[in-house]
Every structure is written in structure tokens, then in C-alpha cells.
């Protein structure tokens, strides 16, 4: 007849082994699951990136179109009513750049607005810093307080600035040619409005 103490010892060892196996079951299952799903997950990542880029493009387009409607309501002249000798070279340059690189075209269109902000400040006798880009926000605040321009124009300028920042800093930035041209056209409209204060022909 087997020794009872030996049976107890064997049972204790068996119980410990079963407990160890149970403790390892979940981590082992997780590792197996990761290995099984590794390839599908890797294949899905580009699709997620594409969805993120598509979402950004949709938001960008929606905001530009809303700004265009607001520009119309604020009676900001369309591009075809701007002085041809000024606008045509800008359009040619920015449109050509848009066909090559949307991000660069948007940045250059915004720089056009920045330049017009500085010109407007000089025209109104304000002290423009030597490096306008570093104090653009301050300059805009000064213009907003003490200039003949409409508050809606400055609101549109600020929205254009936010969109430009998104285009520059968004890693997965992607925008179609038509949408890029809409931003360019709106920037040119705003730039031209800033060059000629209200009441001047």
C-alpha cells in the first residue's frame, strides 16, 4: 500500500504545477495572440494613417469653404477684382507650387498675408518690428484695435493662420490640388484687402 505521506507530497507537487500552468496560461495566450495578429495589425496601420489624413483634409476643406462664405458676406473682393499687375504674378507662382507641393504652397500663401499685414501697419503709421513673423500676433492685435479694417477680416486672417499651422505641423498632411487652390485664392483675397484700407480706391 502506498505511503500516505508520499501520496500527499505527490498531490502537493501536482497542485503546484497546475497552479503554475494556470498562472502562465494568460500571458502565454496573449503572446500567441499577438504573434497571430501581428501581420493583420501591421497591414491595418497604413489604412488608419490614410483615414487620419482623410479626416484632416475634410476638416481643412470645410473650414476654408466656411471662410470663403464669410469673406463674401464681409464684401472682401474676389481675386478677379484685385489689381491684375499685382495678383497675376502671385497666382502664377502659387498655383505652380501647388501642383508640386501643397504644404509649401499653403505656407507661401500665408507668407503673402503676413507681408500684407506688415504693409498695412506701415501704411497706418505703426511701428513694425524688424522681424514681423516673431511679433505677428502683437501686430494683428494693434491693427485690430486701431485700424479701419473690419473685425471680420481679422477673424478670417486668424483662421487662415490656424489652418497654415495645421498644414505645417501635421505629419500626415495631404491635400488635393483644388483644395489647395481654394486656400491660395482666399489668402490672395485677404492679402489684397489688407493692402488697400477701406475708403481707398
The domains of the chain are located at: 48-195
Query: Which stretches of the chain score pLDDT less than 70?
Result: 1-7, 9-56, 128-134, 197-201
Q: How high is the pLDDT of residue 113?
A: 93
The Cα–Cα gap between 154 and 187 comes to 12
Count other C-beta atoms under 10 Å from residue 78's C-beta. Answer: 14
Nearest of 107, 138, 109 to residue 121 by alpha carbon: 138
pTM of the model: 0.67
Q: Taking the chain, what is the end-to-end CA distance rounded to the nearest angstrom? A: 117
- State residue 50's pLDDT score: 40
| 5 burial level (CB within 10 Å; 0-12, 13-18, 19+) | exposed
CA dihedral over 92, 95, 101, 107, signed as positive or negative: positive
Amino acid at each position: 500500500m502506498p505511503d500516505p505521506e508520499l501520496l500527499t507530497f505527490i498531490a502537493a507537487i501536482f497542485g503546484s504545477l497546475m497552479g503554475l500552468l494556470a498562472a502562465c496560461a494568460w500571458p502565454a495566450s496573449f503572446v500567441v495572440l499577438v504573434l497571430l495578429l501581428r501581420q493583420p495589425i501591421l497591414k491595418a496601420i497604413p489604412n488608419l494613417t490614410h483615414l487620419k489624413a482623410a479626416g484632416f483634409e475634410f476638416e481643412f476643406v470645410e473650414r476654408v469653404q466656411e471662410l470663403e462664405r464669410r469673406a463674401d458676406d464681409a464684401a472682401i473682393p474676389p481675386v478677379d477684382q484685385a489689381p491684375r499687375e499685382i495678383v497675376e504674378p502671385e497666382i502664377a507662382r502659387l498655383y505652380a507650387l501647388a501642383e508640386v507641393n501643397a504644404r509649401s504652397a499653403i505656407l507661401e500663401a500665408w507668407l503673402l498675408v503676413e507681408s500684407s499685414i506688415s504693409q498695412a501697419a506701415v501704411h497706418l503709421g505703426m511701428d513694425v518690428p524688424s522681424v514681423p513673423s516673431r511679433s505677428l500676433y502683437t501686430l494683428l492685435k494693434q491693427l485690430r484695435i486701431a485700424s479701419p479694417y473690419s473685425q471680420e477680416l481679422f477673424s478670417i486672417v486668424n483662421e487662415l493662420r490656424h489652418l497654415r499651422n495645421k498644414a505645417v505641423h501635421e505629419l500626415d498632411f495631404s491635400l488635393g490640388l483644388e483644395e489647395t487652390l481654394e486656400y491660395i485664392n482666399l489668402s490672395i483675397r485677404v492679402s489684397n484687402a489688407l493692402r488697400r484700407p477701406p475708403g481707398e480706391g
